[in-house]
């Protein structure tokens, strides 16, 4: 019983990594977000950000990546359920894309405040 649970947990973690890897390999925007995150990480070292600034940066990067992944979930489900045009499918996809846009715009503000204002 215990071993079965442990195996289920391992399978769940493996599936989660497959989901992350799918997004990173197939979603163009996800690749852009990852590159931006790596650049922000390098800049945080370059500008010697303090602990709290790094924390804000990490939360911001995490927000953008998670928003992009949820957008991929919505797109995939809509494509499966409603491959033909449907007004509700449009709302679902547009709202999910809007969530990514909001998180990306806020990340630009965070980047501006953490890096540009220090120049
Ligand atoms: N089945 C559908 N019914 C109605 N509108 C749709 C449908 N599929 C896509 N759309 C509209 O087209 C837009 C673009 O959809 P698409 O599936 O190409 O997503 P995308 O934003 O290009 O995805 P990606 O993030 O991969 O670039 C959606 O935001 C939505 O407005």
| 71-99 pLDDT per residue, tens | 999 999 999 999 999 999 999 999 999 99
> What are the pocket residues of ligand 1 if the criterion is a CB atom closer than 6 Å to any ligand atom?
29, 75, 78, 82, 85-86, 89-90, 93-94, 97
ipTM above 0.85, yes or no: yes
For residue 44, the domain's CATH number is 1.10.287.3610
Is residue 94 annotated as involved in ligand binding? yes
Q: What are the helix (H) ranges across 27-86? A: 28-46, 51-81
> Which ligand 1 atom is at minimum distance from the Cα of 71?
25
Residues of the chain with pLDDT under 70: 1-2
Domain that holds residue 85: 2-118
> Which ligand 1 atom is at minimum distance from the Cα of 86?
3
Note the pTM of the prediction, 2 decimals: 0.90
Distance CA 32, CA 52 (A): 25
Q: Are 57 and 110 in contact (CB under 8 A)?
A: yes
Q: Whose CA is nearest to atom 26 of ligand 1?
A: 27
Active site residue 68: yes
Say how many Å lie between the CA of residue 34 and the centre of ligand 1: 22
How many independent structural domains does the chain possess?
Answer: 1
């Amino acid at each position: 019983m215990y071993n079965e649970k442990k195996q289920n947990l391992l399978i769940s973690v493996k599936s989660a990594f497959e989901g992350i890897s799918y997004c990173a390999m197939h979603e163009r925007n996800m690749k852009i977000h990852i590159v931006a995150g790596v650049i922000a990480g390098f800049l945080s070292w370059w500008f010697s950000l303090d602990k709290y600034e790094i924390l804000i940066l990490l939360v911001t990067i995490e927000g953008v990546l998670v928003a992009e992944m949820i957008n991929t979930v919505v797109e995939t489900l809509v494509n499966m359920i409603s491959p033909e045009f449907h007004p509700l499918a449009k709302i679902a996809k547009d709202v999910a894309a809007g969530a990514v846009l909001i998180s990306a715009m806020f990340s630009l503000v965070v980047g501006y405040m953490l890096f540009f204002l220090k120049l």
